[in-house]
């Protein structure tokens, strides 16, 4: 048995010594004459292997070996290497930098949108102890979601700011969303002048200071897509406003739009009831137009032509030059249209300003069939009428930012006018049927969603007969049967009606359904209506809250009459003669127009007298409190501060 054991020891030592020689740093401790050729050497080597001269060397070697082969050390090294490579690539490689920023931008929007969708889904599955608790929970959910999305929009800027501004002006969106998004009107960051220089040279073929003298580096206005500077135009010597697009917009526009499409498509797939793809479609269609300043210049020229034969207070600045990203136009000195201090300083009647705004936009919609779709206060200036002005008042309203206009085909325009006239009239069975008929023709809205659509049109909860009698859970507040009768409602009654409607089961889903069904142009008209009403409130007018509706109705009547004349003229031309039945139709249309128009003129005179009366009462109170200056301030809607 000795021989086999000796062979086993020999072979084992060979294997272990081989490993030892390859790995142990203490190999130098072996005698130089050590050999594996005899048994003594084998025993000696075995002893040296088990008891090296410097065992601590071997221990440290194994620790270093173990550390080098540890997985966490390997992966940590890889992470550090990738991080260094990423930083180098981000700073030195533009395509790589673009990709990284695009991914970051997309992730912010996706996280906000998905979190909000899940939040709403959870809300729908919950039970509530009372209607008040449910109303409060929904309001909090709206606010949470809106703030979540607002944070992502502000972080990304540009296109996303524009999307938020659009959401803020669509009345059928819950008020928590609209109020949260409204801050985006004033939350745009300016681009440094050095970044704009390259854009200007690229578009204009020369530097900024080659074309302008006294170019003010501080912008007078910053919007989501561009900013405006004041300068002296060297070729003409005129003081001009220079509109420059933010250079980074083009870099991320495509990827931002793809992200918006993907996010809303994902929400629609998992939560079909939350239909928001209309917003992505609208942005994809309109954003390229708004980013093309040549297109904006053409719109401004067309708007000037549409009002050329009209005695109006509207004024549009002249365009001197336009390229895709640079617009040079006449500079206008003025104040914001809702600046009550400015109006008081120049003795401008805020009631007349509100009526003129309604008149301008009503003519665009009902007569011209082509309208400015973004008239928020930042796009409107007011100034005292200069010499030679065609304004019938002592002021001019300056309309800015002509990047977004929409047209209305004749049938849609006339049917929309007929819908408005049916809302003005008392709610007889025939009138109620007409309202729902034209809601279907104009907005593709059936009886099930008609109340929500009507609320979007009027800015109120809904008129009497819009909801079924038992749909508002026994609401005892008397609602107006027409727009005219809403004048008698107090603010408390209006709020009570709105709360009752807000508690209606499934209303939030109905809102999304309306947004999905309504044609895009009609949605823009709803947005225009809401902006006009918002301006009326911002001006703190003293006339009735339906005064702007009555002004709008006059243009509806005119549009219907013009359509009747066109239709009858076409019939006469095709038949070659004017028959008695055709003459009767013509006379009936003319008579209807005259009667309704005169009724509206008389009614608006009554409302204007009521507004004047409120102003005179305020004037007298101010006179009593602080003399003539107090009377002037009170009539202008300014606070009167009594001296001690």
- Catalytic residue numbers? 374
Cβ(303)–Cβ(402) below 8 Å = yes
Q: What is the DSSP letter of 191?
A: P
Decide: 181 and 165 in contact? Cβ < 8 Å.
yes
Cα angle at 410 between 407 and 416, to 5 degrees? 85
Query: 281 and 319 in contact (C-beta within 8 Å)?
Result: no
Instruction: Count other Cβ atoms within 10 Å, centred on residue 615.
Output: 20
Contact 347, 395 (CB under 8 A): no
3-state secondary structure 21-65: HHHCHHHHHCCCCCCCCCHHHHHHHHHHHHCCCCHHHHHHHHHHH
> Would you say 457 and 526 are in contact if contact means Cβ atoms under 8 Å apart?
yes
Task: Name the nearest CA neighbour of 273 among 125, 147, 139, 153.
Answer: 125
Instruction: With CA atoms as reference, report the closest residue to 225 among 258, 208, 247.
Output: 247
3-class DSSP assignment, residue 279: helix
Contacts of 496 by beta carbon, 8 Å cutoff, 6+ apart: 475, 477
Residues for the chain: how many in total? 644
- Find, among 628, 641, 638, the residue nearest to 341 by Cα: 638
How many other C-beta atoms lie within 10 A of the C-beta of residue 323? 18
User: Each residue of 546-585: b (16+ CB within 10 Å) or e?
Assistant: bbbbbbbbbbbbbbbbbbbeeebeeeeeeeeeeeeeeeee
Going by C-alpha positions, the residue among 418, 438, 412, 245 that lies closest to residue 325 is 245
Cβ-count burial 152-178 (b if 16+ within 10 Å, e if not): bbbebbbbbbbbbbbbbbbbbbbebbb
d(CA 30, CA 636) in angstroms, rounded, equals 107
Q: How far apart (Å, rounded) are the C-alpha atoms in residues 563 and 569?
A: 10
């Amino acid at each position: 048995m000795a021989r086999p054991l000796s062979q086993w020891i020999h072979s084992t030592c060979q294997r272990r010594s081989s490993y030892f020689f390859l790995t142990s740093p203490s190999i130098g401790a072996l005698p130089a004459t050590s050999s594996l050729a005899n048994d003594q050497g084998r025993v000696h080597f075995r002893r040296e292997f088990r008891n090296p001269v410097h065992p601590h060397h071997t221990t440290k070697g194994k620790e270093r070996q173990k550390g080098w082969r540890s997985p966490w050390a390997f992966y940590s090294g890889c992470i550090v290497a990738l991080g260094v490579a990423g930083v180098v690539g981000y700073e030195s490689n533009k395509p790589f930098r673009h990709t990284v920023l695009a991914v970051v931008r997309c992730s912010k929007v996706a996280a906000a949108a998905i979190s909000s969708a899940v939040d709403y889904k959870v809300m729908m599955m919950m039970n509530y102890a009372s209607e008040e608790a449910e109303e409060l929970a929904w309001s909090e959910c709206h606010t949470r979601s809106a703030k979540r999305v607002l944070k992502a929009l502000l972080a990304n800027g540009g296109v996303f700011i524009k999307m938020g501004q659009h959401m803020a002006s669509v009345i059928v969106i819950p008020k928590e969303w609209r109020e949260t998004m409204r801050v985006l009107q004033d939350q745009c960051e300016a681009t440094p002048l050095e970044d704009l220089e390259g854009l200007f040279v690229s578009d204009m073929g020369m530097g900024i200071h080659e074309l302008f003298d006294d170019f003010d580096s501080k912008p007078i206005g910053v919007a989501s897509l561009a900013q405006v500077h004041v300068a002296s135009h060297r070729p003409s010597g005129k003081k001009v406003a220079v509109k420059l697009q933010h250079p980074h917009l083009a870099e991320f526009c495509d990827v931002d739009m793809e992200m918006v499409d993907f996010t809303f498509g994902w929400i629609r797939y998992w939560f079909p009831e939350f239909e928001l793809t209309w917003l992505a479609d609208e942005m994809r269609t309109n954003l390229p137009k708004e980013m093309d300043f040549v297109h904006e210049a053409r719109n401004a020229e067309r708007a000037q032509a549409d009002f050329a034969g009209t005695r109006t207070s509207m004024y549009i600045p002249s365009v001197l030059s336009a390229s895709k990203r640079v617009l040079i136009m006449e500079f206008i000195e003025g104040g914001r249209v809702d600046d009550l201090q400015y109006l008081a300083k120049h003795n401008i009647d805020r009631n007349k300003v509100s009526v003129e705004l309604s008149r301008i936009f009503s003519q665009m919609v009902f007569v011209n069939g082509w309208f400015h779709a973004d008239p928020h206060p930042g796009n409107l200036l007011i100034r005292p009428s200069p010499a030679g002005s065609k304004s019938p008042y002592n002021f001019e309203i300056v309309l800015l930012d002509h990047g977004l206009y929409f047209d209305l085909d004749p049938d849609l325009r006339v049917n929309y006018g007929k819908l408005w006239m049916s809302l003005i009239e008392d709610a007889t069975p025939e009138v109620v049927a007409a309202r729902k008929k034209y809601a279907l023709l104009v907005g593709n809205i059936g009886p099930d969603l008609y109340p929500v659509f009507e609320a979007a049109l009027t800015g109120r909860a809904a008129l009497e007969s819009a909801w079924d009698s038992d749909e508002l859970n026994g609401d005892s507040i008397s609602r107006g049967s027409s727009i005219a009768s809403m004048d008698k409602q107090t603010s408390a009654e209006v709020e009570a009606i709105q709360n009752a409607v807000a508690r209606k089961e499934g209303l939030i889903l109905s809102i999304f359904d309306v947004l999905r069904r309504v044609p895009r142009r009609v949605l823009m008209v709803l947005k225009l209506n809401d902006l006009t009403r918002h301006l009326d409130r911002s001006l703190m007018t003293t006339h009735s809250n339906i005064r702007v509706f009555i002004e709008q109705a006059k243009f509806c009547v005119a549009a219907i009459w013009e359509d009747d004349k066109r239709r009858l003229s076409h019939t006469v031309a095709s038949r070659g003669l004017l028959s008695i039945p055709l003459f009767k139709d013509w006379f009936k249309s003319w008579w209807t127009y005259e009667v309704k128009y005169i009724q509206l003129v008389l009614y608006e005179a009554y409302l204007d007298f009521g507004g004047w009366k409120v102003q005179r009462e305020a004037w007298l109170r101010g006179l009593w409190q602080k003399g003539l200056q107090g009377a002037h301030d009170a009539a202008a809607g300014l606070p009167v501060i009594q001296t001690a």
